[in-house]
């Protein structure tokens, strides 16, 4: 897992209208190599820090939330700056507004959060070399295989909120 980084940590968009603060370390940092993330980011992968949404404090202009399609078919909601349109974080259908997937590159110091795990490596770009010291999975993984105990405990604490969100979508 990522070393304990100094938190809180701040980030924002290019024009600095939207600013945010991560109040704690994330649950986990995913480096996703799926084709959907490649297309959406315009890069070889997406680097997202999963964190409880109530631990992402808005400091500036509120982002606009835009519904977009996703590979799962359930869609996602992307928080973007209303001025420069930069994507700052997403909420995916699984956990909805309870968990934010913060784009690590929008942190003022993105070096704080290297990936904990590489996922969907079956579709990674062939020139991307994965580090030997990080777990990698051809698709997804079992949480208990990767997440530290503290993150699993934090997830248990928000599980009722996630379940309520899922029930509201049925």
Domain spans in the chain, listed from the N-terminal domain onward: 9-168
pLDDT at 4 over 60: no
Gyration radius of the chain's alpha carbons: 15
Q: What confidence tens digit (pLDDT) does each residue in 15-24 have?
A: 999 999 999 9
Q: What confidence tens digit (pLDDT) does each residue in 107-126 have?
A: 999 999 999 999 999 999 99
Q: What confidence tens digit (pLDDT) does each residue in 55-90 have?
A: 999 998 999 999 987 777 777 899 999 999 999 999
Q: Which fold has domain 9-168?
A: 2.170.150
pLDDT at 155 over 70: yes
Mean pLDDT of the chain: 93
- What confidence tier does 5 reach under pLDDT thresholds 50, 70, 90? low
Distance CA 53, CA 62 (A): 14
Q: What confidence tens digit (pLDDT) does each residue in 24-56 have?
A: 999 999 999 999 899 988 999 999 999 999 999
**Strand-pair partners of 19:** 12
Residue 15 makes CB contacts below 8 A (sequence gap 6+) with 81, 83, 84, 86
Distance CA 123, CA 56 (A): 30
Got the DSSP string for 149-169? HHHHHHHHHHHHHHHHHHHHT
Q: What percentage of the chain has pLDDT greater than the value 70?
A: 97
């Amino acid at each position: 897992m990522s070393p304990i980084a100094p938190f809180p940590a701040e980030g924002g968009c290019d024009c600095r209208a939207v600013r945010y603060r991560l109040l704690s370390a994330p649950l986990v940092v995913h480096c996703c190599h799926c084709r959907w993330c490649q297309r959406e980011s315009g890069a070889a992968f997406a680097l997202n820090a999963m964190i409880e949404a109530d631990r992402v404090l808005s400091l500036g202009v509120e982002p606009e939330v835009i519904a977009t399609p996703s590979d799962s078919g359930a869609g996602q909601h992307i928080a973007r700056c209303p001025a420069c349109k930069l994507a700052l974080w997403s909420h995916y259908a699984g956990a909805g507004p309870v968990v934010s997937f913060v784009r690590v590159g929008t942190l003022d110091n993105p070096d704080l959060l290297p990936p904990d795990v590489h996922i969907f490596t079956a579709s990674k770009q062939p020139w991307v070399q994965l580090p030997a010291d990080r777990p990698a999975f051809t698709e997804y993984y079992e949480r208990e295989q990767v997440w530290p105990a503290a993150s699993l405990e934090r997830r248990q604490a928000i599980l009722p909120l996630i379940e309520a969100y899922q029930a509201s979508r049925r």
